Amino acid sequence: MGTSSARRAPTSRFWRLAKRAATRYLAPEEGAGLEAREVVARYLAALGDDPEPENQGLLAAFRLTRKAAQNLGAFAAQAAVPAGDAALDAHGLTRGAGQFREEAVPALTGMLLEPDGSLEGAVARSSLAAVLQGLEGSAPAAPARVVTRFLAESLYQRLVLDLGEPLETACRSCGHWRQGLDGLQGWIAGATQEEQDAPLTPEQWRGLAGWTWITLALAGMLRRLRE
């Protein structure tokens, strides 16, 4: 199903529960299946319990993601103003044509987040590309909405990377696989909520105001998904 590169997640108790939840989500035992919300909640419990020092606590596990979100917010703020077409054109994106240079999105993604070789960095770059492609050919989106979309996409992609093996093993067909992933993605996206007083300028997005706003938005999303 295209998950041969899925990461082999740790094998602690919480990770075993998360993997079991992923399996039951797509392959119910005697009709007792789990919903997407239960898979996501158990995944977050496992991620927060990761024994790696750099991953102590859920927010710490998304430090690089939050930095990328700051840069994305700054770019979206540039593109949202009346003269914002210039910000898009400068990177090979266009507002109305729905077309962009083949290298435009990868180049812009690299500008927003330098590669660091980490799993989180790889997910953040892939999520940035997905969100940037969604901006192509559309009306200017509020930076806060673009950023929350990116945070949700990052969590979704990371979950699929970590739990891809049990999800793939449990599915019956490509259609079943796609339906299951859509359910997970939709549930995560539905938990996003834009905090009040979002930064307005690129400078604010790159500074403490942006970091604080993004941290609150991410913390709120994670809390809603764990409840």
Instruction: Quote the pTM value.
Output: 0.84
In this prediction, residue 199 carries a pLDDT of: 93
In this prediction, residue 215 carries a pLDDT of: 94
In this prediction, residue 4 carries a pLDDT of: 44
CA 18, CA 180: separation in Å to the nearest integer? 15
**Taken in order 36, 38, 40, 46, is the CA torsion positive or negative?**
negative
Q: How many CB atoms lie within 10 A of CB 152?
A: 24
Tokens matching residue 103: 């290298």
CA 199, CA 196: separation in Å to the nearest integer? 9
CA 94, CA 85: separation in Å to the nearest integer? 7
Tens-of-pLDDT digits for all 227 residues of the chain? 444 445 656 667 899 999 999 998 888 765 566 899 999 999 999 988 765 544 457 888 899 999 999 999 998 888 775 545 565 565 555 554 444 555 677 778 888 888 788 889 999 999 999 998 877 666 667 899 999 999 999 999 999 999 988 888 887 788 888 888 999 999 999 999 877 889 999 999 999 999 999 999 999 999 999 88
Which residue in the block uniquely carries the two structure tokens 């690299």?
A: 110
Q: How many CB atoms lie within 10 A of CB 26?
A: 22
CA 181, CA 203: separation in Å to the nearest integer? 36
In this prediction, residue 174 carries a pLDDT of: 85
CA 80, CA 75: separation in Å to the nearest integer? 9
In this prediction, residue 111 carries a pLDDT of: 83
In this prediction, residue 38 carries a pLDDT of: 94
Which residue in the block uniquely carries the two structure tokens 């970091």?
A: 211
In this prediction, residue 87 carries a pLDDT of: 58
Tokens matching residue 189: 């996206």
Helices within the chain (DSSP H only) = 13-26, 36-48, 63-80, 85-89, 104-112, 119-135, 143-170, 174-190, 202-206, 208-226
CA 22, CA 33: separation in Å to the nearest integer? 10
For 129-138, give one letter per residue: b (16+ CB within 10 A) or e.
bbbbeebbee
Domain ranges for the chain: 13-226
Which residue in the block uniquely carries the two structure tokens 């840069």?
A: 71
Tokens matching residue 142: 């509020």
In this prediction, residue 196 carries a pLDDT of: 81
In this prediction, residue 159 carries a pLDDT of: 95
In this prediction, residue 103 carries a pLDDT of: 62
Half-sphere exposure of 19 (CA within 13 A, CB side): 17
